[in-house]
Amino acid sequence: MLSSMGVGLFAASCRRAILRPPTVRAMSTYVESIKVTSKDDSRPFMAVFPDLVRELTVEGAEKDIPLVPKHLMKCIQYTVPTGKRNRGLALATSYQILKPNDKDQELAYILGWCVEFLQAFFLVADDIMDGSETRRGKTTWYKHENVGLAAFNDSILLETCLYTILENHFKDKPYYHDLVQEFRTVTRYTAMGQSLDLLTSLEKTPEGKKNLDAFDMSRYSSIVRMKTSYYSFYLPVVLAMKMARIDNPELCRQAKTILLEMGHFFQVQDDYLDVFGDPKVTGKVGTDIVDGKCSWLIVVALQRANPAQRQALKECYGVDDDSSVEKVKAIYNDLKLPKIYKTFEESSFEDIQTHINQLPGGGQMLPPLVFEVFLKKLYKRHV
């Protein structure tokens, strides 16, 4: 995401040009018209993190149980700031666009870190449930010596940290209760989405095979919306809107629609790259086929497969051997899924841009730039 200075320059130079495009433009033209700084300078955002750790583990520590704050500090430093910090930076970027040069920009950084604590809470628990060995190129937290399943409790501690930060810094703000409510709602939705994903993956046929009959677009869309879209796309922007006191019901409704669409777009990309992306570019080796995930590719393949192909998918999907994985990939290629994906990417981009253009008030109450910055980052990701 953009730095505070980068966002200011970017917003000033682009606002007149792209706040209200008259029509949906071709994507190549649209992307070229947005010049995002190439240097991801997150220093202002990172600068507030040490103080937050200190207030959570030193200043606010229970004096009679020093062992817990010490352990919590290690957990926080290992799990919270070590990723790309996209969600926290997205919040800070959104607020900078909504309220340029506002005195509360540092509060937006702090609120962004609350989102990152939420992300860490989800991922620590997710790694245990998935049995993951690594996360972000490092050993997962629960795999550390003297941690193990205690990491479940650590994940709960991480969640409590975000509410402590909220109380410490926002309790006197008129929008404090709105922030708390958004975090609670999105946490509930994400947990429900995780549960739906796990239950779908665990469904078996009487023969003990993966039950692919449960994999349809309705189920897939529900998993994506609940597990990914709300906390990765909706939450950062809606929190920035709450801070900026943008509470027009119609604006909030349209913003939610756009952000959930972006989340779906992102997850379909992720599913595609898991199979067809270059690990040297994406930074990870795909496992969706072996893990038997309810992904966009398998859902579309099942929609288009002939009886023989469908039977082969039932036999091979979710089976941990190279031969089965290659058979699934071969069927994906036979069904021309890469071409179908590219068509999906084009149409999704244009649909989202159309919804951005339809924001009420001519883009004056809620600048389209808030959404266009992130849409530009999504389009042709890792290509």
Annotated active-site positions, please?
84, 121, 126, 130, 135, 197, 227, 266, 270-271
102: burial class by Cβ within 10 Å (0-12, 13-18, 19+)? middle
Q: Is 293 in a helix, a strand, or coil? A: coil
Closest by CA to 214, choosing from 227, 226, 224, 204, is 204
| Cα 202 to the center of its chain, rounded Å | 24
Residues in the chain: 383
Q: List Cβ neighbours of 62 (8 Å cut-off, separation of 6 or more).
A: 68, 69
The answer to whether 318 and 210 are in contact (CB under 8 A) is yes
First-last CA distance in the chain? 18
Residue 115 DSSP symbol: H
| Cα 265 to the center of its chain, rounded Å | 11
